[in-house]
């Protein structure tokens, strides 16, 4: 429970508070850019990481809504939606030996591309996906929900990288 509450505080409460704090000044001066870190996890439910996936869904949905609300103010909001990256996240979450992290990418390029997308005022920047994951993310909303849940579960189950 505490780990889930902490994740909600970091992934939802912190960016919400920061935006509520700084956006009025951005709007007042007529320019500003916000880059919220979401994830490709935002595009589907995530068994075995349900709270993480749900918090990232919030970040993307909320960022997209803010982008529209701020249209015409000179302020943009971009959601960075990377795939699995080589950070401490996999180890901390017990995911290092999963299919999901078997092809994790270098976070430096993801960060650079996210920054560039924010500077251009893009709505969402989805990147850092190896091979088959790129079309999968785009097609995810079309898949049968139970089949998608089973697929995500299989990608995240411990030891799946060896299967």
Catalytic positions, written as ranges: 52
In DSSP notation, 47-107 reads: TTSHHHHHHHHHHHHHHHHHHHHTTTTTEEEEEEEE--BSSTHHHHTT-TTSGGGTT-B-H
What is the rounded CA–CA span in Å between residue 43 and residue 138? Answer: 9
The single residue listed with the structure tokens 């996240």 is 89
């Amino acid at each position: 429970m505490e780990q889930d509450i902490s994740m909600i505080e970091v992934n939802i409460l912190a960016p919400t508070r920061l935006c509520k704090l700084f956006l009025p000044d951005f709007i007042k001066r007529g320019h500003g850019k916000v880059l919220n870190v979401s994830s490709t996890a935002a595009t589907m439910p995530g068994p075995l990481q349900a709270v993480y996936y749900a918090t990232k869904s919030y970040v993307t949905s909320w960022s997209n809504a803010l982008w529209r609300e701020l249209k015409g103010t000179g302020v943009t909001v971009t959601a960075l939606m990377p795939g699995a990256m080589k950070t401490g996240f996999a180890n901390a979450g017990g995911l290092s030996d999963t299919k999901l992290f078997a092809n994790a990418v270098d976070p430096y390029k993801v960060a650079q591309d996210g920054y560039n997308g924010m500077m251009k005022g893009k709505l969402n920047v989805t990147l850092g996906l190896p091979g088959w994951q790129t079309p999968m993310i785009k097609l995810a909303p079309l898949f049968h929900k139970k089949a998608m849940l089973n697929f995500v579960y299989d990608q995240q189950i411990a030891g799946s990288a060896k299967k």
